Amino acid sequence: MNSLACEVLSAGYSHHSKPFYVKSTRGLRNYLIRFQVEGCCRALVDGQVQLIVPGDLLLFKPKDQYDLRIEEELQQNGELGVTSGDYYFFCRGAWLEEWWSRTAKQQKLKLPINENVLHLCRQTILEQRRGKAPAKEMAEYYLRLFCLTVERASHEQQNVSGKGKSFLAYEMKRYIEEHALSPLKIEDVASHVDLSVSRAVHLFKSVFNQTIMQYVQHIRLSIARERILFSKMSLEQIAEMSGFNSYTYFFRVFRARYGLSPKEYREEEANLID
């Protein structure tokens, strides 16, 4: 085995708009980490084929069976279609073995779709694609940071799970992550946790220090950014599929967030992706 303790064998962002199937009944040869960030699919989890939605992180160890099905599903916009986007990492190494065994790992858990998490995904892919030293070692450490972020998120979910105001706040956050690309109202989020709009707004702001709609826009912009970087869709298509009704509004908020227009951002980042 390579001397790297957390070797990234393969990494990428996979976007599907047509049916796609992959099945490994003999079991995987290495560890696989798969993070769903847009659309939905179905995968074998704990012996059952389950629906996978944005924010779902799948963890597979060597010899686990792998069954992925991307087909027509009811999407977040309420329409039937084939849309699925995920980050994936095939990896191996002694550090990963130790990290995997230190605590019980669920095959599926929730991970926030935020800029910190997406940055780690992107940087791992970019360094792995560069291929030569010191890029391979940098990819290893980015993946380690990603794994530790997963571990912290898992602990936080366990600490707030089951009761208390924090649990309701995280439930609202999860609901937003799963429905941000559809026409989403604050009333929908409040209704999901059986709170009045005013209580839901206050609770979310007190726990996450941002409003519900600010977080919705954050998710939409993050997804749009991934599509700009990793898909060949037109900018107008990206705006519409990322939950923005107006390209003019998308243009304005994107430039305010990232300091560049969508077109400028795609052109500037193209060399890094290549």
Alpha carbons 213 and 221: distance in angstroms, whole number: 12
Q: Right CATH number for 165-273 from 1.10.10.60, 1.10.150.530, 3.10.28.10, 3.40.440.10? A: 1.10.10.60
Sequence-ordered alpha helix ranges (H) in the chain: 94-102, 115-130, 135-160, 165-179, 186-192, 197-208, 212-230, 235-241, 247-258, 262-273
Q: Determine the pLDDT at residue 271.
A: 59
pLDDT digits (tens, 9 = 90+) for 123-159: 999 999 887 778 889 999 999 999 999 888 777 666 5
Max CA separation in the chain (angstroms): 56
> What is the CB neighbour count within 10 angstroms for residue 15?
18
Q: What is the pLDDT averaged over residues 243-255?
A: 94
Would you give the end-to-end CA distance of the chain in angstroms?
28
Residues sharing a CB contact under 8 Å with residue 247, sequence separation 6 or more, in sequence order: 235, 236, 239, 240
Span 24-36, pLDDT tens digits: 888 999 999 999 9
Cα–Cα dist 40/37, whole Å: 9
Averaged pLDDT of the chain:
88
- pLDDT over 90 (residue 174): no
Q: What is the DSSP string of 148-159?
A: HHHHHHHHHHHH
**Architecture of domain 7-160 in this structure:** Sandwich (2.60)
Q: What is the DSSP letter of 6?
A: T
pLDDT(178) > 60: yes
Q: Spell out the domain ranges in the chain.
A: 7-160, 165-273
